[in-house]
C-alpha cells in the first residue's frame, strides 16, 4: 500500500520566491514615488516663485521700484510703514532653509529682477544655481545650463532651473 503524503504548507523555495517578488515590486514602487516627490517639489518651487513675482509687482506698483533684496523677510519696506506683500517667506521645499536666488539690475530705481530656483528632476538635485546666467527682465521659464554651470555647492554640473522675472 502506497502512502500519499499531504503537503501542509509552502516549501522554503516557494516562500523565498514570493518574498523576492514582493521585494522587487516594493523597490519599483519606491523608485517611482521618489520621482513623483521631486516633481511635486518642483511644482512648489514654481508656485513659490509665482507668488513672489506677484508680490514684487505689487511692491513696484506702490514704490515705483523693485526691492534690492527679498530676504530675510518679504515686507519689502522698513519701519512702521512697511507693507507685507507675502505672509510667509518662501524657501526651497527640499530642506526648508535654502533661499531662492534673487538678482536685480544695478542702479536706482531697480527696474528689472530675476528670481530662480534649481529644479530637482535632473542630476544636480539639492543645489541652487547662482543664476549668474539668469537675466533680469528676461521672462519666465525653465532654463538649462549644459556646460560650465556654477552652482552654490561649487560644482560645475549641468542642470535646469526655473526663473521668473518682470516680463
pLDDT in tens, 99-139: 788 888 777 888 888 888 877 755 444 344 444 445 566 66
The answer as to whether 125 is a domain residue is yes
| 151 assigned to some structural domain | yes
Q: Is residue 2 part of a domain?
A: no
Q: What is the pLDDT of residue 130?
A: 45
pLDDT in tens, 14-31: 999 999 999 999 999 888
More confident residue, 147 or 154: 147
Percentage of the chain modeled with pLDDT above 90: 10
Q: Burial code of 52-90, b = ≥16 C-beta within 10 A, e = fewer?
A: bbebbeebbeeeeebbeebeeebbbeeeeeeeebbeeeb
Residue 123 lies in a domain: yes
* Positive or negative: CA dihedral 158, 161, 165, 167: positive
Q: According to the model, what pLDDT value does residue 14 have?
A: 92
For residues 89-94, average pLDDT: 82
**Could you tell me if residue 4 is inside a domain?**
no
Nearest to 161 by CA among 125, 137, 108: 125
Rounded Cα distance between 70 and 114, Å, is: 11
pLDDT band of residue 33 (cuts 50, 70, 90) is confident
pLDDT digits (tens, 9 = 90+) for 58-86: 888 888 888 877 775 555 655 555 567 77
Indicate if the pLDDT at residue 8 is higher than 80. Answer: no
- Global pTM reads 0.66
Per-residue cell: 46:
514654481
- In this structure, is residue 51 part of a structural domain? yes
pLDDT of residue 19: 96
Q: How confident is the model at residue 82, as a pLDDT?
A: 59
Q: Is residue 89 predicted with pLDDT exceeding 70?
A: yes
CA 167 to CA 151: how far, in whole Å? 25
3-class secondary-structure state, position 119: coil
Q: What is the pLDDT of residue 106?
A: 73
Classify residue 6: in a domain, yes or no.
no
Domain count along the chain: 1
Residues spanned by the domain of 67:
12-165
- Give pLDDT, residue 18: 95
State how far the Cα of 149 lies from the Cα of 151, in Å rounded to an integer: 6
Domain-located, residue 110: yes
Is 52:115 a contact under the CB 8 Å cutoff? Answer: yes
3-class secondary-structure state, position 63: helix
Amino acid at each position: 500500500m502506497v502512502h500519499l503524503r499531504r503537503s501542509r504548507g509552502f516549501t522554503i523555495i516557494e516562500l523565498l520566491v514570493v518574498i523576492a517578488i514582493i521585494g522587487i515590486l516594493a523597490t519599483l514602487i519606491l523608485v517611482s514615488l521618489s520621482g513623483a516627490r521631486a516633481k511635486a517639489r518642483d511644482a512648489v518651487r514654481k508656485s513659490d516663485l509665482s507668488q513672489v513675482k506677484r508680490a514684487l509687482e505689487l511692491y513696484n506698483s506702490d514704490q515705483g521700484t523693485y526691492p534690492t533684496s527679498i530676504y530675510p523677510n518679504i515686507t519689502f519696506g522698513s519701519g512702521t510703514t512697511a507693507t507685507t506683500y507675502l505672509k510667509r517667506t518662501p524657501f526651497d521645499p527640499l530642506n526648508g532653509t535654502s533661499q531662492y536666488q534673487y538678482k536685480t539690475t544695478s542702479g536706482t530705481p531697480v527696474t528689472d529682477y530675476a528670481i530662480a530656483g534649481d529644479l530637482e528632476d535632473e542630476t544636480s538635485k539639492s543645489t541652487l544655481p547662482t543664476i549668474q546666467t539668469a537675466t533680469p527682465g528676461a521672462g519666465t521659464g525653465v532654463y538649462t545650463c549644459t556646460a560650465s554651470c556654477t552652482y552654490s555647492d561649487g560644482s560645475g554640473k549641468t542642470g535646469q532651473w526655473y526663473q521668473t522675472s518682470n516680463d
